[in-house]
Chains A and B, each alone.
Chain A
Amino acid sequence: MSGELANPAGVLARRGVEQRSGKGTAAVRRLATGGLVDRTRPLEFEFDGRRYTGLAGDTLASALLANDVRLVGRSFKYHRPRGIFSAGCDEPNALVELRTGARTEPNTRATTVELYDRLTASSQNRWPSLDFDVLSVNRFAAPLLGAGFYYKTFMWPASFWEKVYEPLIRRAAGLGRASGQSDPDAYEKSHAFCDLLVIGAGPAGLMAALTAARAGARVILADEGFRMGGSLLSDNPVIGDRPGSDWAAQAIAELKSFPDVTLMARTTVFGVYDGGTYGAVERVADHLPSPPPFLPRQRLWHIVAKRTVLAAGATERPIVFGGNDRPGVMLAGAVRTYANRYAVAAGADVAVFANNDSAWRAARDLVRAGVAVRTMIDVRDTVDPALLAPLKDAGVRILLGSRVVGTSGKRLHGIEVLTGGHRSSIAADTLAVSGGWSPNVNLTCHLGNRPAWNEDIAAFVPDKLPPGMAVAGAANGRFGLADCFAGGASAAVAALEELGIAATAPALLRAEDEPYRIGAFWHVAESRGPAFVDQQNDVTVKDIGIAHREGFRAVEHLKRYTTLGMATDQGKTSNMIGLAIMAELTGKGIPQTGTTIFRAPYTPVTIGAFAGHHRGKEFRPTRLTPTQGWAERQGAVFIETGAWLRAQYYPKPGESDWQETVNREVRTVRSGVGFCDVSTLGKIDIQGPDAGILLDRVYINTWSTLGVGKARYGVMLREDGMVMDDGTTSRLGPCHFIMTTTTANAAKVYQHLEFCLQVLWPELDVQLASVSEQWAQLSVAGPKARETLARIVDPGFDLSNEAFPFMSAAGLTVIGGVQARLFRISFSGELAYEIAVPAGQGERLAEALMTAGAEFGITPYGTEALGVMRIEKGHAAGSELNGLTTAQDLGLGRMMSKKKDFIGRMMSQRPGLTDPKRPALVGLRPVDRSARLRAGAHFIPVGADAIAANDQGHMTSTAYSPSLGHSIGLGLLSCGPSRIGERVRAVDPVRGADTEVEICNPVFIDPQGDKLRV
């Protein structure tokens, strides 16, 4: 008799609104002694606008119960009043909105929320108030809302679904609401490695961790709770001659003394993945009003464990009977936990209804703690006399062979019991129910295993396990305390032995090891009123009957048809009963009926934890070019191109929009000189005696004959004959080439070359190195390019057209001794060079070019002008190199060598790829020159209907050409090259455009290429 009620007199009579309202209400149901709460640290909190006081060590649920708050939510479909049902992560009913504003967290289980000072929570799914909810009339529509109602009731007419039915259902059903605001807190990810991961810090887990720690192993012990100890805290056993919680504290202190042991409280291991990898979420700051500076709210852990001991315990399941969802009906183990761990009397007049021994021990603990237990009901006709004695002594009325058939009261005030054919009413404000315990087998099944049925404990137990995993304690169906200790120790010893680490089991502890007997019993057939199997999704016994009658009998069908087990609790307290009822209906046994698949996550994980740092601009890393800082100082406008941030255009004062700036940049290049940072192109250093042979095999054209100091344009195909990438490659020495790739395909091409060398032709003596990061490469283009360059090239280098003609390449020094590479190649169609210097010199080179070209009005230009000029020159780029085009389609068919083999050659000869009707590259200009072309428009013959059957291709790229004074486009058109001069329509149904266009040569400017060669 260690505890009694804090205000022992007349608790029942005084329980009421007046006690729950107002500031600083006394905690009317807090027991005077006992519990693992800190009575010196009261914490104020608010629920539905009322203020209450709890204690440090409370959960929100225990603090609400301590304040006699019993109604905490409304159910999902029928808006029935619901209370606190459990004391852990299995809670189906007590879901609240935690916090306010942007930090609002809907559907938070009050039973797992650690109480903190000034916590604010509110109930969900009620209007206008929790006590009086208008939509509770839904329960009168229950026949309409039964199993499969979505599928049946709202079938017709189809047009009503989106406009009428769905909004109606969404308003009526559902739980919490998201804040709709950006989450103000941070999340992150981390990685951990260990010899032994122990999941669950109850008796089995603590013993496994201790065994491994003492053997010197690297151990991670993770537990979802904020205080480690598991059932040692809630069941209050005696170990040796001390309380179990003391032993747990001592074990934890010892574990903390090992440098290679990591204790992770508030951490749920939610998933098992291949290769001994486990996903876990650590609630770093959920127990605080807001995360302290520089700390994330939650941290997602990726744990790689050589071996794992799963000691996740067991979950109690109820017995289902009429009115079993009334606030005040709770799991017996939860009522025990509230008394033992939180020193809270769940009620003032408790009845217990069970089919197994553990509930009797719960009742015994309640009596010991000073909670008034008046009635003990067991479906079994006989029980162990050892269980009877302590209850009889306390004057508890014992009803064997009996069952609860109904309940009454908005908050429970009475139960109806069937004993020997007689129904009688018994007063009770709390009914503690136990239908037995189901081992938490979830994690053993994540890699596809199924649990096995164990008749002795009427539960599924782990069967085949993920590699490296062992199971101990209640999770393994061994409920006795001594069994838990022994199982944890031996699992750890065996696991470490496999790793070559010698470990010995600690001396056995003297612990109460009470037998667990159960008479399997799932639901009360004689029930009065709806009997809820899944309280969170409002699935009743009757719904399972409907599913059975309508043929949805397999457990997976049952689940989907009735939504049983599909709520946020994933049916932790309901799946077992649901499948047992179905097994009764079909006459098949439970093992033949089987369970639904257990999938990760074990409990819900905030999506933010998976995102970690990768939010907003940090969604992925940003790559900056070597001239980024310089371009910023020039006032450039930037654009994201893949991972890169590139200068899009360089506006000058007085320019009204981007088009004006881009037009000026293009005109300046075409008439004078400009430069552009092209460092983002992939650059691959290729060395070795067989480098030319490699290039011959990966490019469609010939390379081994390329002279030293020369550059060449190349196209490479995929194995399937489609174009993979293009670019210029230069020969710097007999055994040395430098390849350029498009920006988008830089990594892919490098990977492709590595594959060729490592897998296809390991005999080739070629060495690769990516030098994309090493060089700042600027394209200098325009009639004045040579004169500009002449001013930065160090003396001794001859830039003349004779000495350094089109498609030349050379190493040299510039701006006074800076190592550089010069390539005379052109993307713009002008006299142009690409000059490369070490990346650290990029800004210096840009500055030198600005000075050198000042006399010619030099301008830097961005990706927009680059794009305009390449469209004017008909060069294929990303929109044309789209993975669906062949070299032939792009007008590059003649480059394909017939004298050698190359990757993609064979497949490029497939009839489908050589079909002359394939869309091929052409230029397009609007017949009405003032019209604007749009990429994405489809080509339709003039006079034909704009339907898919008449589609002849599409516009891939468009630009306004300042050189021509009108819009131009490139497109892929069926039989395109042979239709030059014809007209088609460019139809853009998305943006409502239908423009007649003229088919022309894709090279709009200088088709002979004279300007390149001057």
Chain B
Amino acid sequence: MTSLLIRGGRLIDPSQDLDRTGDLLIRDGKIAGAGDVAGHVDEEIDAEGMIVVPGLIDLHAALRDPGDEEDETTFTGTAAALAGGFTSIACLPDTTPAIDNRAAAEFAILQAARARNCHVYPLGAVTKNLNGEELAEMGQLVDGGAVGFSDGKNPIHNAEIMRRALEYSRMFDRPIFNFPEVEELSRSGIMHEGYYSTLLGLRGMPAAAESIMVSRDLALAEMTEGRLHVTTVTVSNSVQQILQAKEAGVKVTCSVTPHHLALDDSTLQRFDAAFKVNPPLRSQDHIDSLIRGLKDGTIDAISSDHQPYSVEKKRNELDEAPFGIAGLETVIPICIQTLIDPGHLSWLQLIDKLSTRPARILGLSKGTLRENSTADVTLIDPDAEWTIEPEQFYSRGRNTPFAGWTVKGRAETVLVNGQVRFHQGQLLSRANPVA
């Protein structure tokens, strides 16, 4: 029996609608009590001035392992997750080879166990080799630990396949994550289609490319009663449609990224590939709709959509550079800046979107500080001022559009299974294992 007391923090737990100052007791890797705790404990952490929350959970992050270890490995990606305050991540199946079979799912979990940073839950492929033609063995993937299904950044373009995936996954009560894009409309595009794409001569990716796919998927989800998760919603029309579908009882959830809230398409004027991301950074009117959607609950969750790339891949002409932002380590400060400081969301609402809801979407009994739940806990210092320096990232991906920004708020201490794995910028797991 070992016990640890996190003393005097502001406890925030959306699963119990809890927001109060108090202590959190952890015993043998489980949460043993919250409030005013008395009696002997083995160890104490002073949490005064900290916000104590259920560990953050990322709905979709790319780990690139195996296949593209120059961009990220399970070790570096999960270290980045801890540094960002995440205790669990769902990893995308777009590795090489893809996570489209049971062995590959088990390998992802094994790599995470070797890394011993945070929990990793694989998203299995919807289709074999992510090519959109034939369903992957979803039952086998679930048995191998998959918590949901996704074809990564490949939209499931065949409506028939999407229909069958939504129907088939009902047996396992697991969601289908689709990346909403009609490729014919956005092919070879670089940025949002609008004034700035016209100005810069960069090929546009119209808002309709996303909302048309959202529309199709909502109709299929309604028909099949399957569970749909729309990843990275970025346009007004998508938000409106999802709101209507939810009101009609369709089983749909959706998520947004911090960078789509913080940055608009005018940033491409710098011709810097750090701003090249898919879906593209949109115009301010779309951003306003996303914020409204977060406030009214249409948008369930916030995900980093972590897409790490090595420097040599990103430091290139805009046509050649891949899409994506390494987002895990900047989620907290960017959310504070875009959502908390302007008063759009309360802390309780923000943590709901970063932990409690993602846990529900993935079917994990996490995202809570209730007694007897696993002690995955994050202490956030909301006032810590720091400058985002990609060279300091734990991730191998240095591709952030926020380099040089002075921000406030970061994860101070992160506990996984009741053990302190990250504290004051330092990783407390084993050294990088040769695995």
Interaction A to B = no
- Give me the interface of A with B, judged by CB distance under 8 Å: none
- Give me the interface of B with A, judged by CB distance under 8 Å: none
